[in-house]
Amino acid sequence: MSGTHTGRRAAVYGASSGMGRASALALARAGADVALLARNAQALDEAAAEIRALGRAGEVIPVDVQDPAAARASVTAIVDALGGIDVLVYATGWNIPNRAFERLSPADWDLMQRTNLWGLYDVVQAALPELRRSGARVVVVSSACVQLPDVSGIAYQTTKHAEVGFVHGLMQEEAANGIRATVLFPGLTETPMLGRRPTPTPAEVVAQALQPEDAAQAVVFVTSLPPRAYVPELMLLPAAIQQR
User: What is the rounded (10 degree) CA torsion for 116, 121, 66, 64?
Assistant: 100
Q: Is 13 a catalytic residue?
A: no
CB 180: neighbour CB atoms within 10 A? Answer: 24
119-134 and 68-82 helices cross at what angle (nearest 10)? 30
DSSP track, 81-128:
HHSS-SEEEE------SS--GGG--HHHHHHHIIIIIIHHHHHHHHHH
Q: Name the catalytic one among 13, 90, 121, 156.
A: 156
Q: Which active-site residues does the annotation give?
A: 156
